[in-house]
Amino acid sequence: MAHADTCYIGKRVKLELLSPEDVRQIHEATLDVIESVGVKYHSQKALDILEAHGATVDRETTVAQIPAAVVEKAMSTVPHEFTLGARNPEYDLPLDGEHIYISSDGCGVFARDPATGEVRPSRKQDLVDCARVVQALGNVSATSAVVSAQDCPPETRVLHELDACVRNSEKHSIVVSIKEDWEARSLIKMAEALAGGTEELKKRPMFTAIICTVSPLHQERYGMDLALVLAEAGIPVSFYPMPILGATGPITIAGAAVMTNAEMVSGAVLVQLAHPGAKVIHGGGPTAMYMSSGAYASNSPEALLLRSCQGHMADFYGVPAWYGAGATTAKEPGIQSAYENTLAMFMTYANGADVTFGTGLLDGSRILCLENMVVDDEIIGMVKRILRGIEVSKETLAVDLIKKMGFGGNYLFDNHTRAHVRELWQAKLGETGSYEGWKNAGARSTTEKAQEKVAEILAAEPVPFPADLGAEFDAIIAAAAREAAAQ
């Protein structure tokens, strides 16, 4: 079975938090903001394209005010379905609304030692380890630069990060924090080498780029310039607003939904005008602020509700949806990380997300904790099963069986039970036995069991990586270093 088949949920059980009328109001408010206030693009190239299509552009402030008709027309060329490619096609990920995936998160800067709990700056080896754990976990579908490879030169760091991901995992990769043109071109070269050519890459893009917008209503210069380069190469671009409710956006959820949507839509519009049909994704990781500490909270109910609004908007535009979930504020793996991430995953997928980004970090996406990925792997398995819903048919209603059994509870030995028992979800991590059995086995916590699982994965043989590709990657990274030095 291909990996994606295990992520199939069909027409999902959906939580309709917003009414169609609510969605329409948010859409109209979005159009109003983009047309009357506009968006600050910080990129003359972006302004050229927008102006050519009828936007009112101020070259000095770099603000483009885009008429609603232009926005609507651009959004009409957005592709509704496409597939994310993987090094091994077994791990290709169709984004069609009927599959859900989780990837590892990005971009932390620390790693936590599972034995001592000590926290230290992150390095490339952490990405290698993370990619290997992602590869081994059945319910995690994509790797990412989960932490920054801070022991690599800054000018080629992002290449080292993708290098670590794809050498150690056969799954799709997610690239965050690209800043420079040569980085994008080198990444595309690496991906073309993986896919087997330019055309092949367009069909099966080996990585997705997350481009953060800057609230309120800014698109970064490099974000826009890079989006254009990546879109042309067929790389999916996820526009990722991260407003903080009450700080860089309205404190009310509906207001923040308008702003996030305006930022996502204004990014998508630019890309669609330049490259109609380019793959864009409705992304975002909004947060709320804990007023008591000033810390931001990506898993507070308001932030989760905002993602729910985004899911509805993505559905309205027919764009794949990809949101932050899993960025617990907890400082260690345990109860808080478990309940926060559970709520985040359930709410985000139940409101329409195709992908959540992602798992593996603590302390608000700062500290790598691989054992938490093992726990999240178990949780998302349960969430997937629930969102697939209940099949109601003659066979599953089993009225004839109920009548046959009558008042005796002998279902266990019936053929119907044997025929369907394998459909039941099975725990991989959680305790399922008796208290005595648990005591006798050493009274281990879920976290300890997850740590052992990580150690087991890292002790096993890594997936092989073709030597010729390795040499090609080395050459690409070396060339990028020379190019950066010449700048």
Partner 1 sequence: MSAHAEGRFVGSRRPLQILSADDVARIHEASLDVLAGVGVMFHSQRALDVLEAHGATVDRETTVARIPARAVEEALATLPAHFTLGGRTPDFDLPLDGEHVYLASDGCATFVRDADGTVRPSVKQDVYDAARVVDGLPNLSATSALVSAQDAPEESRVLHELDACLRASRKHSIVVSIKDATEAKPLIRMAEAVAGGAAELKARPIFSVILCTVSPLHQERFGMELAFALAAAGIPIMLYPMPILGATAPVTPAGTAVVNNTEILAAITAVQLACPGAKIVHGGGPTALFMRTGAYFANVPEALMLRAAQAQMARFYGLPAGLGWGGTKAKQPEAQAAYENTLGMVLEMAAGADFLFGAGLLDSVQQMSLEELVIADEVFGMVTRLVRGVTVDKEHLAVDLIKKMGFKGDYLFDQHTRAHVRELWRARLAETGTYDGWKAAGSPRLEDKARAVAEGILASPTPDFPAALDREFTEIIAAVEAGRF
Establish if 80 lies at the interface with partner 1 (CB under 8 A): no
Q: Is the dihedral of CA 461, 467, 472, 476 positive or negative?
A: positive
Establish if 389 lies at the interface with partner 1 (CB under 8 A): yes
133 φψ region: left (φ > 0), alpha (ψ -120 to 50), beta (else): alpha
- As measured in angstroms, the least distance from the Cβ of 161 to partner 1 is 23
Establish if 463 lies at the interface with partner 1 (CB under 8 A): no
For partner 1, which is the closer residue by CB, 26 or 231? 26
Q: E strands along 158-250, which residues?
A: 172-175, 207-212, 237-240, 244-245
Distance CA 66, CA 267 (A): 12
CA distances from 328 to 61, 287, 332 (A): 37, 11, 10
For partner 1, which is the closer residue by CB, 276 or 389? 389
User: How would you class 78 by CB atoms within 10 Å of its CB: exposed for 0-12, middle for 13-18, buried for 19 or more?
Assistant: buried
Stretch that binds partner 1, among 67-75, 79-87, 252-260, 268-276 (CB under 8 A): 252-260
Amino acid at 300: S
Distance CA 321, CA 327 (A): 17
* Window 318 to 377, contacts with partner 1 (CB under 8 A): 329-343, 346-347, 350, 363, 366-367, 375
**3-state secondary structure (DSSP) of residue 83:** strand
Q: DSSP assignment of 240-267, as one string?
A: E---EETTTB-SSHHHHHHHHHHHHHHH
Select the residue interacting with partner 1 from 6, 10, 19, 466 (CB under 8 A): 19
Q: Write the secondary structure of 330-344 as one string of H (helix), E (strand) and C (coil).
A: CCCCCHHHHHHHHHH
For partner 1, which is the closer residue by CB, 292 or 487? 292
For partner 1, which is the closer residue by CB, 230 or 353? 353
Distance CA 308, CA 15 (A): 9
**3-state secondary structure (DSSP) of residue 280:** strand
Site string (395-434) toward partner 1, x via CB under 8 A: xxxxx-xxx-xxxxx-xx---xx--xx-xxxxx-xxxxxx
Token pair listed for 400: 């004839």
Establish if 293 lies at the interface with partner 1 (CB under 8 A): yes
For partner 1, which is the closer residue by CB, 409 or 464? 409
Select the residue interacting with partner 1 from 46, 71, 233, 253 (CB under 8 A): 253
Establish if 453 lies at the interface with partner 1 (CB under 8 A): no
Select the residue interacting with partner 1 from 251, 455, 458, 479 (CB under 8 A): 251
- As measured in angstroms, the least distance from the Cβ of 269 to partner 1 is 17
For partner 1, which is the closer residue by CB, 386 or 479? 386
- As measured in angstroms, the least distance from the Cβ of 341 to partner 1 is 8
Closest CA to 319 of 27, 32, 5, 22: 27
- As measured in angstroms, the least distance from the Cβ of 447 to partner 1 is 6
Establish if 390 lies at the interface with partner 1 (CB under 8 A): yes
Q: Is the dihedral of CA 407, 411, 416, 417 positive or negative?
A: positive
CA 114 from centroid of its chain's CA atoms = 25
Select the residue interacting with partner 1 from 78, 305, 314, 353 (CB under 8 A): 305
Stretch that binds partner 1, among 165-173, 200-208, 249-257, 272-280 (CB under 8 A): 249-257
For partner 1, which is the closer residue by CB, 169 or 342? 342
Establish if 475 lies at the interface with partner 1 (CB under 8 A): no
Distance CA 62, CA 85 (A): 35
For partner 1, which is the closer residue by CB, 221 or 331? 331
**How many residues contact partner 1, by CB under 8 A?**
124
Closest CA to 144 of 132, 161, 122, 119: 161
* Window 131 to 170, contacts with partner 1 (CB under 8 A): none
Select the residue interacting with partner 1 from 6, 125, 198, 252 (CB under 8 A): 252
Residue with tokens 């859409």: 27
Establish if 290 lies at the interface with partner 1 (CB under 8 A): yes
Distance CA 34, CA 74 (A): 13
Range 309-320 burial, b when 16+ CB lie within 10 A, else e = bbbbbbbbbebb
For partner 1, which is the closer residue by CB, 100 or 235? 100
Establish if 6 lies at the interface with partner 1 (CB under 8 A): no
For partner 1, which is the closer residue by CB, 123 or 331? 331
* Window 168 to 227, contacts with partner 1 (CB under 8 A): 215-218
Order across the sheet with 119-121: list the strands: 119-121, 110-112, 367-368, 361-362
Establish if 68 lies at the interface with partner 1 (CB under 8 A): no
- As measured in angstroms, the least distance from the Cβ of 25 to partner 1 is 6
Is residue 160 within 8 Å of 477, Cβ to Cβ? yes
Is residue 249 within 8 Å of 271, Cβ to Cβ? no
* Window 28 to 67, contacts with partner 1 (CB under 8 A): 29, 32-33, 36-37, 40, 63
For partner 1, which is the closer residue by CB, 193 or 242? 242
- As measured in angstroms, the least distance from the Cβ of 175 to partner 1 is 26
User: Residue 367 forms beta bridges with which residues?
Assistant: 110, 362
- As measured in angstroms, the least distance from the Cβ of 421 to partner 1 is 5
